Amino acid sequence: MRQAHTVQTVREAEEALMASRPEGALMRAAAGGLAAVCIRLLPRVYGARVVVLVGGGDNGGDALYAGAAIARRGARVRALVAGSAPHAAGLAAFRAAGGAVAAGADAATEIGAAELVVDGLVGIGGRGALREPHATLAALTGEADALVVAVDLPSGIDADTGTVSGPCVRADVTVTFGTHKPGLFVDPGARYVGVVELVDIGLGPRLPAPRVVSPQVADIAALLPEPGPESDKYRRGVLAVAAGSDRYRGAAVLAVGGALRTGVGLLRYVGQQGVATEVVHHWPEAVVSVLDPTDPAGRLPQRVAAWVVGPGRGLHPTAAMELEAVLATDRPVLLDADAITLLAKRPELVSDRTAPTLLTPHAGELSRLLPDSTPAEVEEHRLDHVVRAAERYNCTVLLKGSTTLIAAPGLPVVVNPTGTPLLATAGTGDVLAGAAGALLSAGLSPPDAATCAAYLHGLAARLAHDGAPVSSSDLIGALPVAFAAILGSDSEEGVPARGSKVADGTRGRGGRRG
């Protein structure tokens, strides 16, 4: 499990560590790791043209010391100093190693001719939009053909939230020190970081519990339920699905398919006659109960391990009555789509509930759960909003989108690493709801069920057509392939190197962005 800590936590750990080490030891360790990555990325070091972008403070000092190490290997290293007070000792070491400071007027020429650019403009303490000349240097870097390596995180990203308020350096590789930072995992910042390399500088023993975690395949493999010799359909989990309507019959078919392909023991579908017929046509193993429209709660199955309610269900009064009846049980319940819209009108149905509950909104639905927010605000500050929703509703919240986030009261936020734009198609959320519901019925807690389902969901999209576009139906068929990839993985971190079908984008050598 990759862990990420806030800036304040990192600062406190660094101060404690520096008090026990010789002066400058921490910076030398960070710069040494940064230089090693840069040297590895260059096809040849001797004679290579390297530009170091230098801001004020320790981030610029790391870049200067790394630049000095690269210069000692025979590279032509030039520093573009943006801050008014660059790190004095770092600058002296840089010049002593043969590095030169270029004039600001030559920035475009130097960056344009570089093979490698090291971004040391702004460190983890940066807030708000980049100012000049930092913004211009970031823009020039984006136009260059050079590989870009960011120091700790790309300049322009808020380290704690992933917010990007203006121009931002887009890195091919980010070398971060001591621990990951939340902004490296969470969009929009995560789009700019490239491959993340963690350099151990000894902070580990001084770090508390993380704010954010991101699972690797070994973590998912350890959580996924596997049937044993004593398993039967009831022990594997009985899931009830209340999804779909005459207008959205496909939502029921997709949610049921997602649950069945995730290994549910027995699936009980609840819905109108026409929808139930469609479900059985596609999934004959489903057991159906046809609702009485005059008594929507009267025929709800009782002997189930968990519920999924909402995909394509509609907002009519019978759906609201059904939702209230299901939430009155002591079973784990997953609410998606229309059920979330209905919940926004009666939040106490979940906030006062003691049984396990999982909400799976997208940004628009989350803004309904938090009436003082807009969808745009949710997208811009995803981490803050998912935490607020989990605390307000006292349950687990899975926020779908460019990076899927999972928050539960008192736990670190989970960032799913397998997300892909391939999932931006109708019906994929229905499949996710079914998959998470199956894992709830198997006995996983809402945070674990959401974490595993999101990981499987994203991986299935990558594997379905080898990176080509997929439909929601394709996604269902690829879920068993994703299971096999996870349970059969034997790599060091459980994920093969970047560029393979099962990559999570966190290791390997950076390539030029497209």
pLDDT for residue 70: 98
**Residue 201, marked binder:** no
Tell me, what's the pLDDT at 105? 87
- Flag whether 268 is marked binding: no
Q: 499 among the known binding-site residues?
A: no
232 marked as part of a ligand binding site = no
For residue 333, the surrounding DSSP H or E stretch is: strand 333-335
- Pair 6, 182: CB distance under 8 Å: yes
pLDDT in tens, 337-349: 999 999 999 999 9
Q: Rounded to whole angstroms, how far apart are CA atoms 489 and 492?
A: 9
Sign of the Cα torsion 119, 120, 121, 124 reads positive
392 pLDDT tier (thresholds 50, 70, 90): very high
Position 104 scores a pLDDT of: 86
- What is the pLDDT averaged over residues 417-436? 94
Query: Which tens digits make up the pLDDT trace of 48-57?
Result: 999 999 998 8
The single-letter code of the amino acid at 239 is L
- The residues near 235 (Cβ < 8 Å, ≥ 6 apart) are 265
Cβ proximity of 382 and 187 under 8 Å: yes
402 is in an annotated binding site: yes
Q: Does residue 6 have a known ligand-binding role? A: no
Any known ligand binding at 416? no
Fold of 2-214: Rossmann fold (3.40.50)
Torsion of CA 491, 492, 495, 497, to 10 degrees: -90
20 is in an annotated binding site: no
The neighbour count for residue 165, using CB atoms within 10 Å, is 14
The answer to the question of whether 129 is labelled as a binding residue is yes
Is 58 assigned to a binding site?
A: yes
Give the residue extent of every domain in the chain. 2-214, 230-487
What's the average model confidence in pLDDT over 26-41? 96
Residue 434 labeled ligand binder: no
- First vs last C-alpha separation in the chain: 29
**CA-to-CA distance for 36 and 442, rounded, in angstroms?**
46
Compute and round to an integer the Cα radius of gyration of the chain.
Answer: 25
Q: To which residue do tokens 């009555």 refer?
A: 321
Q: Is 504 annotated among the ligand-binding residues?
A: no
pLDDT one-digit tens code per residue, 479-497:
999 999 999 865 434 433 3
- Tell me: pLDDT of 509 over 90: no
**Residue 294, annotated ligand binder?**
no
Confidence of residue 433 (pLDDT cuts 50, 70, 90): very high
Residue 187 banded pLDDT, cuts 50, 70, 90: confident
Q: Which residues of 371-405 are buried (b: 16+ CB within 10 A; e: fewer)?
A: eebeeebbbbbbbbbbbbbbeebebbbbbbbbbbb
Q: Does the pLDDT of residue 510 top 60, yes or no? A: no
**Orientation angle between helical segments 472-487 and 428-441, nearest 10 degrees:** 40
257 annotated ligand-binding residue: no
Does the annotation list 83 as a binding residue?
no
Other C-beta atoms within 10 Å of 298: how many?
9
Residue-level pLDDT at 125: 87
- Name which residue leads in pLDDT, 494 or 475: 475
pLDDT at 498 over 80: no
Determine whether the annotation assigns residue 109 to a binding site: no
- pLDDT 10s digits, 202-259: 999 999 999 999 999 999 999 999 887 777 787 889 999 999 999 999 999 999 999 9
Of all residues in the chain, the percent with pLDDT exceeding 90 is 83
What pLDDT, on a 0 to 100 scale, did the predictor assign at position 490? 57
Is position 155 annotated in a ligand binding site?
yes
Query: Is the bond preceding residue 86 a cis peptide, omega within 30 degrees?
Result: no
Mean confidence (pLDDT) of the chain:
91
Among 356, 309, 365, 369, CA closest to 330: 356
DSSP letters along 432-458, please?
A: HHHHHHHHHHTT--HHHHHHHHHHHHH
Identify the pLDDT of residue 501.
29
394-400 mean pLDDT: 98
Task: Spell out the CATH class of 230-487.
Answer: alpha beta
Is residue 430 part of an annotated ligand binding site?
yes
| pLDDT above 60 (res 356) | yes
* 404 assigned binding-site residue: yes
Q: Is 204 annotated as a binding residue?
A: no
Over residues 136-161, the pLDDT tens digits come to 999 999 999 999 999 999 999 999 99
Average pLDDT over residues 16-41: 93
Residue 400 in marked binding region: yes
pLDDT tier, 368 (very low <50, low <70, confident <90, very high otherwise): very high
Q: Is 357 annotated as a binding residue?
A: no
User: For position 297, what pLDDT does the model report?
Assistant: 78
Query: What DSSP string describes 89-129?
Result: HHHHHHHHTT-EEPPGGGHHHHHHH-SEEEEESS-TT--SS
- Report the SS3 class of residue 49: strand
Strand 413-415 relative to strand 405-407, pairing: antiparallel
336 is in an annotated binding site: no
